[in-house]
Structure 1
């Protein structure tokens, strides 16, 4: 027997019961709102119901904020990691938008409030900010197009690895200290030892060589310190 899909109306009675338990008078389909709850002289509470997270649900919630600051969105409670991941992301989004968020467990009508409406005050992360600015400062040039996929991006770490690869390509197996001095990469020894990209091999204590994969990467990416080709210089004969 196939499981029937939830309907917006399946959410109504559980949400209504929750609000009535808080002394609200509750009615459905008032104007454009799915649920309106009134208690004394307080601003009304509006709840928009949907069978899942969607952009239109957030649009509706934002539109209802023209009526009242107390706006919630409500969806059925799902199971599994994909839903929990979506719930966490959308709870964060609701807080940023000043919306409240409820989920309804349809098998028993349990309503859980994950966020209440209110002004958003983002917490800044000094660690993330410092990491971002450090990468910006260490990155040579601007080798990536904004919006590109994360895989294969040119990072400051990859640029340092290419500098080490260039030295090994020119000198052959070399002491790590000399690679660091020649390339200007202070962390050359640790970088080659970690061998994150599989470009290097240790041929003796403190001496590293370049693997074929490293040579291919060097040929593909080129010299990270070379001046970028400009439209004026491209295709011209010195």
Structure 2
């Protein structure tokens, strides 16, 4: 009978892990000083903590075992669906970050299978940062390109004000104040010199409309959406009104 999906008890994890360590030449003892499994070989002490699932409590328990053991593993049933997805990858990163090992136990036709995807080893934080250097650069770039903090940390279901959205709002404010403008004129008003044309042509938010070649205006959707960003729009209206420009296709609005 295939019982790989059956909910395993901690005691059921014990036997295959215990036998695996014995096969590796370790002297194994169970429940020594509150450690689920303790194994010794050549004066190297390994501790394994058994649990039915990964949890913060398990990680805390395992980290505490690092005070006494050379290596600490956590042993859990192998997840049926999680392996390979982003959540699982993040969990594995945390386990590596804590310098723990991971043992996965599964059963098929009453035969146990042991997998060890992670062994305890020193975590190289500098190497990790080097691998993720592009992500770090993108975060710093995004911070520097935003003009203020218009989001609420931890919020869900809200439209985030990204640097791209800020640039789009800036363009929308210019069109709202002056009417139809060309990308060149928008850049003269201070919009992003590299992104303005792309933002208008791609029209990701549906805020703009191309009324003729090289001339753009604000769509009805854009006018409606702009009201949702009153604080940021006010900032850009003031910024635009401070620019000395004699050319205008429409009346400017007061910022007061």
- TM band (smaller chain): 0.7 to 0.9
1:99-153 CA-partner distances (Å, limit 9, x unpaired): 1111111223111111111221121132222212211111102222333337412
Structure 1 residue 114 corresponds to structure 2 residue 117? yes
Question: Per the alignment, in what secondary structure is the counterpart of residue 160 of structure 1?
Answer: helix
Q: Which has the higher contact order (CA 8 A, sep 6+)?
A: 2
| TM value normalised by structure 2 | 0.80
Partner of residue 136, structure 2: 129
Partner of residue 98, structure 1: 99
Partner of residue 77, structure 1: 78
Cα 1:74–1:24 change in 2 (3 A) is same
Matched ranges for 1:127-206 at <5 A: 127-149=134-156, 151-186=158-193, 187-206=195-214
Partner of residue 208, structure 1: 216
Question: Per the alignment, in what secondary structure is the counterpart of residue 109 of structure 1?
Answer: strand
Question: Per the alignment, in what secondary structure is the counterpart of residue 185 of structure 1?
Answer: coil
Partner of residue 89, structure 1: 90
RMSD across aligned positions (CA): 2.1
1:202-235 CA-partner distances (Å, limit 9, x unpaired): 22222222112211221220324367xxxxxxxx
1:151-208 CA-partner distances (Å, limit 9, x unpaired): 4121111111011111111232322222222243212110111112121122222222
Residue ranges of structure 1 left out of the alignment (5+ in a row) = 228-237
Cα shift at 1:33 = 0.8
Residue ranges of structure 2 left out of the alignment (5+ in a row) = 239-255
Partner of residue 54, structure 2: 53
Paired with 2:99 and 2:80, the residues of 1 have a C-alpha distance of 26
Cα 1:51–1:147 change in 2 (3 A) is same
Partner of residue 20, structure 1: 22
Paired with 1:74 and 1:53, the residues of 2 have a C-alpha distance of 9
Question: Per the alignment, in what secondary structure is the counterpart of residue 174 of structure 1?
Answer: coil
* Alignment coverage as a number of residue pairs: 225
Paired with 1:178 and 1:114, the residues of 2 have a C-alpha distance of 58
Tell me if structure 1 keeps the 8 A contact 2:16–2:114: yes
Tell me if structure 2 keeps the 8 A contact 1:50–1:75: yes
Paired with 2:112 and 2:25, the residues of 1 have a C-alpha distance of 19
| TM value normalised by structure 1 | 0.86
